Amino acid sequence: MRLEAHVRGSIEEALERMGIPAPDEVPVEVAPAAVAELAPEARKAGVRLAFEAHMRQLTDTLASSLQFLDMTPPDTAGLTIDFSNLSFAGEDLSEVIDVLKDRTINAHLKNGYVDQTGGGHFKALDDGMTDYERVLPLLRDAGYGGFLAIECLGTEAQVRPIETARRDLAILRRFLDNMGRNNTRDEAP
């Protein structure tokens, strides 16, 4: 059984039992009941549920992430912190890292900027609103020991996905080397 399919099915089943059609976005009021339905399965499988801090979604700011986390069990639910999404929302990443450190399960790394219409434009990992040379030491100092997942988006990633992933991995390695530590695994495509 693939957990991903089971979790997706469980969310839809939980919403159905509550008489709510499965929307594209889960309203904040529905989230605790849906997570409560998933929590026993997650515990049984030995996993934690990670909800991404994502633009225009349930956990798109520090405040909305905290609201969501306050309604969910800490042993089962946490966040995948996407630093650029939170930068795009105008959040202070040093505060984000400090406040969310105990509930951070994963970290997404990408970079870019948001234009005046709210559209995202994605660039190399060292080119955009998120200063990873500042963020990564803060994350380390907060005790984060999880994965750093590079998320490659935008036109360049669509046209040249392997080259884009390799470029951003090289940039991440440079950032980590500058911190005096390079633990990246060679899992680039």
Beta strands 104-109 and 77-82 are parallel
Confidence band, pLDDT 50/70/90 cuts, at residue 27: low
Cα distance between residue 90 and residue 129, in whole Å: 10
Beta-sheet strands, E only, within the chain: 49-52, 77-82, 104-109, 111-114, 120-123, 148-150
The crossing angle, in degrees rounded to 10, of helices 31-45 and 3-17 is 150
Q: Which residue has the higher pLDDT, 117 or 166?
A: 166
Sign of CA dihedral 99, 104, 109, 111: negative
State yes or no: pLDDT of 113 exceeds 90: yes
State yes or no: pLDDT of 8 exceeds 50: no
Q: Name the pTM for this structure.
A: 0.78
Beta-sheet strands, E only, within 5-151: 49-52, 77-82, 104-109, 111-114, 120-123, 148-150
Cα distance between residue 29 and residue 163, in whole Å: 42
> What is the mean predicted confidence (pLDDT) over 5-29?
54
Please state, for a pLDDT cut of 70, what percent of the chain lies above it: 80
Q: Which residue has the higher pLDDT, 122 or 187?
A: 122
| Mean pLDDT of the chain, nearest integer | 84
